[in-house]
Chains A and B, each alone.
Chain A
């Protein structure tokens, strides 16, 4: 299998807290990889490092064989990040306006993104302002908005956070479709072993601040 991301001897510290402590890991093309670990083990930090929003203390992060710690703009062409926080979009704007803003930046027709809006049943919420949306809607919106960017590497924090049972199945279907039909490489953070077993080709656990390849 072709390696798309190589993480080599990575260390990231925040004051006395040292994460990943000189460990390496590979992520493969067109695969779905789950990251799990205890709270504060560094899961989101890892996603931010992969997307160039954080810089490591030591080590290299290679995407398509280029070190993104030295060329963040290059990394940002290939990576899309869904952080799944309560914030992250303009709170006064509606979901549609936030999407249109991103579509204008990426020169993507709004209609191209409507297919994902429909899959996740967001069409009735498009005219709601982001700040008034529930956590579940925000989770779905993060996922849809990360697909506006024309990338093939998708990083998602907590795939199904706050979403109802029916939507959860739709998110799973979407992830499978993104992998098979759109050839995405997906890395997501999860605490749900059923979800991991259902969707993932690979499973990386962060234990004692080091990567452990489970599958």
Chain B
């Protein structure tokens, strides 16, 4: 645990210094969030004001979920391009521990992004959240990141195995967003797609947060299925990662992107 903390703090330092180098990156990210909300707010105002609130929490969930996948792809891509992957894989820890600690360091900065997104909603788009709601959202974000860690590890393995996999992952994430009900309730989907939707753990995690914030109901039963999925798939994802890692260490394609 001590080693994991020192690794994460080292990556946190590296992330901070990298962010200092790319000074405008944070501003552009903020503007992107703002423009995204303006566009959705405009379209929602054509339907109903309640729909924007529904959509806002869908987008919030999508932001958290896509962070768990895109950050890991971005990390591996950068480490492969700069060949720092040799240095970080030379560390006397398991490669998965190194990647996860790098992911957690980036996740700490992600909380700032998420805070800005929520603040934009509150300040400019009439989203009403109590202090308790904000604390709840913090724990919800941590839960979501941990519950989908298995998916992060699978994506990480795919990034090593399939070169230029980000378009495939983007496609997969977009489908998950649509089927889980980020933009509209899954009940409007055709029956076959509804059935797929109810197989996805993301659907329940999203239902849960909407119920809590919009209707003030806390239904923990919704979290049982995603938690069971996590318990089952986390060990499987670790086995898959180690299998693929050994494969690329044999072929010598560690730095090939």
Contact = CB atoms under 8 A, between A and B. Distances in A.
Contacts of B90: 51-53, 76, 79-81, 149
Contacts of A100: 13
Nearest to A15: B251
A57 B250 CA distance: 7
A105 B7 CA distance: 5
Given A83-B86, A90-B14, A14 B6 contact: no
Interface residues of A, number: 35
Nearest to A91: B82
Interface string A70-82: 0011001101110
A85 interface: yes
Please report whether the interface of chain B is mostly helix, strand, loop or mixed according to DSSP.
helix
B14 A55 contact: no
A145 B88 CA distance: 13
Contacts of B6: 104-105, 107
A77 B246 contact: no
B17 interface: yes
Nearest to B255: A87
A92 interface: yes
Contacts of A89: 82, 84, 87
B18 A90 contact: yes
Interface in B41-91: 82-84, 86-87, 89-91
A101 B10 contact: yes
Given A85-B83, A100-B13, A104-B6, A92 B22 contact: yes
B1 interface: no
Contact of A101 (B13, B83, B86): B13
- Kindly state the interface size class of chain B when it binds its partner: 20 to 34
B22 A76 contact: no
B254 A53 contact: yes
A199 interface: no
A91 B81 CA distance: 10
B89 A53 contact: yes
Interface string A42-71: 000100100111110100000000000000
Contact of B86 (A53, A93, A97, A102): A53
A93 B18 CA distance: 7
A97 B17 contact: yes
Interface string A87-121: 11111110001001110110100000000000000
B128 to A, nearest CB: 41
Contacts of A107: 6
A32 B17 CA distance: 37
Given A14-B252, A54-B252, A76-B92, A93 B87 contact: no
A107 B92 CA distance: 13
A142 to B, nearest CB: 10
B194 to A, nearest CB: 46
B143 interface: no
Given A53-B89, A53-B254, A76-B90, A88 B83 contact: yes
Given A80-B90, A88-B87, A93-B14, A104 B82 contact: no
Interface of B: 6-7, 9-10, 13-14, 17-18, 21-22, 82-84, 86-87, 89-94, 246, 249-252, 254
Sorted nearest first, the 9 A-B pairs with minimum C-beta distance are A104-B10, A87-B83, A92-B21, A76-B92, A77-B92, A55-B249, A105-B10, A55-B250, A88-B83
Interface of A: 14, 45, 48, 51-55, 57, 72-73, 76-77, 79-81, 83, 85, 87-93, 97, 100-102, 104-105, 107, 129, 145, 149
6 contacts: A48-B252, A76-B91, A87-B83, A91-B82, A102-B10, A149-B92
Given A54-B252, A90-B82, 13 more contacts: A53-B86, A54-B250, A76-B93, A81-B90, A83-B83, A88-B83, A88-B84, A89-B84, A92-B21, A97-B17, A105-B7, A129-B21, A149-B90
